[in-house]
A and B are shown apart, each in its own frame.
Chain A
Amino acid sequence: MTATPPVQRSVAIAGASAISRYGATWRGLARALSDGGSFPGVPAETPLANPKARNARKMMSRGAYLAAAALAELMREVGWSAAQREGAGYYLGVGASGGSLDDVTALLDASIVDNHGTREFSTVAFGEHGLAACNPLLAFQLMNNFTLAHGAIFEGLGGPNGALFSRGSGTTAALIEAVHAIASGDCERAIAGGADSATHPVTAAELAREGFTAHGLEVAEGAGLLALVEVAQLRPSTARLGGNDAANLGSVEAAHRSSPDVIQLGSVDAAPSASLGVEVHAQPILVTGCAIACGRGRDLGATIADAIARATEAAAAVAELDVVVIAGWGPPAVDASRTWARTHAPRARIVDVAALGATLAAGPALGWIAALDLLAASAARRVLVIDAGVDGDAGAALFERGGAA
């Protein structure tokens, strides 16, 4: 079992960014998921902050592009200085690689020969002609770590880091490492998230072959990032959620008190903010537990329960959860997560990110974003995100509104 140790320093959320079917914003994501709101789709050309973006995109996989675009937005939101970025950690759950299809097609066209009526790939032809037909930087399109590295280069992130593959719990592992990096004093700021695209034809074809598409998996893509800081870094006088003023949130609190079974969400028409933290009523939003568990040799329900038990052991009782966000992919993972929630947290409302489609390594991170949206713009105080993948591994992350910054 991998879990965060007793936290030496509390870790708070300083900002967030998301790209999903809901658009290039994180605010309002949970409301849209809860209420079946409209989904305009992933912006095709989300601009990067860096003017070199046009050239850069040629070199990147779609996942890398999404991550870089989300990171640019996040840096705009939190306003970290160059020196702060140089020390900032960056841990990212990433998916399979995917070269440009134009390059792959050109490469194959020059390398597949007819051999008595059978089309065969020829290594000899590939060496002679195929190599020259493809992008010189093809290798970088294929390297999974470029989903992390491209954004880090554009935004000047220079601290501890890791690109972790996720077909289940890898993205939650990225959160664990980012939280630990801050809690242990390795860095004062860190970014944790996930970015992935299932829209690459190779990935989509493989998902179809493995039977996921036939069972309702909807190919999608996205990115979600959280900016994390040691809680002492938040300044109460300036740390507040942009656009969600106290009066508005007060009315939400009142609505919640009058109807405790219903969580209503506050305004999501927030302008981008350079605030140092996301907080409500002078309370920061904390990451209070996260853990992953291995599914080998046991059923998914037991694995999920194991991960949750580890993530919540140092926090409030599971019975006090206000919301459970389900971020697993594949019907078995979603069903097992729902079963856990109904059994162990019957009071909690369930929010499912399935409406965003199968965003793979981005899914858990978008779940965290939904949790953040709920904590920032509703009366919810404690939200658990469950992440479970197709290989039976599971992750859990607990987010809470905590004491004064």
Chain B
Amino acid sequence: MTAVITGVGAVSAFGVGMPALLGGLAEGRAAIGPIQSFDARTFPTRVAGEVPVATITPAWLAQGIAGVDPATRDATIRLLAEAHTLRDRKIGFALLAAAEAWRGAHCGDAERDASLSIALGLEQAFLDDFGPIFTSPDAGGPREIRWDAARDSAVAEVRFRSRIDLAARAVGDLLALRGPTIVNVSACAAGSLAIAHAASLVERGAASVVLCGAADSMINPLGLGGMCRLGAPSPRNEVDACRPFDKRRDGLVIGEGAAMFVVEDEARARARGARIHARILGWGSTQDAYRVTAPRPDGSAARRAMERALARARLAPEAIGYINAHGTGTPLNDPAEANAIRGAFGADTDRIAVSSIKGAVGHLMAAAGALELAASLLAFERDVLPGTAHHRDLDPECPLDVIGPTPRPARVDALMSNSFGFGGQNAAIILGRAT
């Protein structure tokens, strides 16, 4: 059995919906700007690829979710609002993208047994909620977290953090899914791994339909602050903060959003007349097993992930016409990825177009692989390959055919998308044009 994509939904810095994402990329635009969703003026990093909504409200969310039973939609949103968890922005993004994918695939009651394979980022810590219980037991003494008070019903609004699988539960509730839910938390590789898992379930006959993808937002004080402490973001607070594969690159820019897909068996999709956006031909995952804070410089483990994907797809390297790179724009990632690509593709590397959309929408962390796979569909939908925003001078350490800021017209029949996670998890997925 072959897994195919029959529905896609996306939320990104370009806005809500796949048309916004593909439109922005096809026009070569970028959507990085000053952070609006919280007061970041004292943070080292103050720009991001933020979804254009300052606060996610029930009304905004309900307005964006179409094609779903309104009563179920409203009940799902109400529960989240009552628990004060809409503050965790990725939950709303997941709902929006899932509804778009489900609607686009024309799924209905016959698909309710679908499995859900979703990748999610960190629990969002609600640092505001620590305020009432952070005090000193003795007047003038050192302050500490009063856990006894935290357990007291008198401060019932204290939540500390959103549960990591809350978005998965909400998506399942929204669409009344009856299949098993699997939540992948493999950092920046998680989105790709969740989609690969979905394809695997279909290919091995364990599921006929899987709703899969990812949602994440680290654009909150602890998320952004944690990344700042790591030194991962560019120190420049400019809209061109992220410049993948460029000599001048100096770090990543954080993004947020979601991308969800309906993946099903090709024969089933054809039988019900569903439109096939792409075939999922192969995937591979490996671990660097190298260091906590750096990728393996020679890219050997990432290369093995690409080789595994090629082997599973039964494709020779020359069959790949485009690579959507992880391309974070950090000093260490990009040359390591270039080494990995050259290792996997050998002499064919020079004729394979490569780009990264992180300069345009930011690094979506757990959702990066999912959004970038959705963006890659531009190649099949419009015969256009996404550009690399803010890329100007190719770093000789990254000897690849990097597409510059302007999208490149081209027809490709197979493409690869890479994702590499903090901690060393690597994933590669190969899509094929629907025939």
Chain B associates with chain A: yes
Residue A162, interface by CB 8 Å: yes
CA A158 to CA B179, docked complex, whole Å? 31
Which of chain B's residues 284-319 have a Cβ closer than 8 Å to chain A? Answer: 284-293, 301, 304, 308
Partner of A145, one of B181, B190, B228: B190
Task: Return A177 CB to nearest CB of chain B, in Å.
Answer: 7
* Partner pick for B423 among A3, A146, A209, CB 8 A cutoff: A146
Q: Is A1 an interface residue (CB 8 A)?
A: yes
Contacts of B20 in A (CB 8 A): none
Interface check A65, CB cutoff 8 A: no
**Given A140-B292, A145-B421, A297-B176: A108 and B127 interface contact (C-beta under 8 Å):** yes
* Complex Cα spacing A201 to B206, Å: 39
A159 to B201, CA, bound (A): 19
Q: Does A404 contact B (CB under 8 A)?
A: no
Q: When the two chains form their complex, are residues A294 and B229 in contact, meaning their CB atoms are under 8 A apart?
A: no
B229→A296 contact, CB < 8 A: no
Q: Indicate whether B54 reaches chain A with its CB closer than 8 angstroms.
A: no
Is the interface on chain A under 10, 10 to 19, 20 to 34, or 35 or more residues? Answer: 35 or more
| Residue B200, interface by CB 8 Å | yes
* Cβ contacts under 8 Å, B125 to chain A: 142
Whether B145 contacts A149 by the Cβ 8 Å rule is no
Given A149-B287, A149-B425, decide whether A205 and B186 contact each other with a Cβ distance below 8 A: no
Interface pair A296/B177, CB less than 8 Å apart: yes
CB proximity to A under 8 Å, residues B110-134:
113, 115, 120, 122-123, 125, 127-128, 130-132, 134
Kindly list chain A residues whose C-beta atoms are within 8 Å of the C-beta of B24: none
- In the bound complex, do residue A112 and residue B131 qualify as a contact, i.e. CB atoms below 8 Å apart? yes
Q: Decide if B226 touches A145 in the complex (CB within 8 Å).
A: no
Query: B226 — which chain A residues lie within 8 A by C-beta?
Result: 138-139, 142
Cβ contact of A294, chosen from B128, B177, B284, B285, cutoff 8 A: B177
Q: How far is the CA of A208 from the CA of B291 in the complex (A)?
A: 37
B130 with A121: CB separation less than 8 A? yes
A136-172 residues at the B interface, CB under 8 angstroms: 136-140, 142-146, 148-150, 152-153, 155-165, 167, 169-170
Known: A105-B144, A134-B229, A149-B424. A162 touches B184 (CB 8 A): yes
Interface residues as binary, A90-124 with B (CB distance below 8 Å gives 1, 0 otherwise): 10001011000100110011011000001111011
Question: Which residues of the partner chain A approach B222 to less than 8 Å between Cβ atoms?
Answer: 142
B422 near A143 (CB under 8 angstroms)?
Answer: yes
Residues of A45-101 whose CB lies within 8 A of B: 59, 85-86, 90, 94, 96-97, 101
13 A-B residue pairs with CB within 8 Å: A90-B287, A127-B40, A127-B43, A137-B229, A138-B229, A145-B190, A146-B292, A158-B288, A162-B193, A170-B182, A186-B308, A205-B151, A293-B180
| Extra pairs beyond A157-B287, A177-B197, A393-B181 (5, CB < 8 Å) | A123-B40, A124-B39, A144-B185, A167-B163, A186-B308
Closest 5 CB pairs of A and B: A149-B423, A127-B42, A139-B226, A144-B185, A165-B183
Task: Enumerate chain A interface residues (CB-CB to B < 8 A).
Answer: 1-5, 59, 85-86, 90, 94, 96-97, 101, 104-105, 108-109, 111-112, 118-121, 123-128, 130-131, 134-140, 142-146, 148-150, 152-153, 155-165, 167, 169-170, 173, 177, 180, 184, 186, 201-202, 204-206, 208-209, 292-294, 296-297, 391, 393
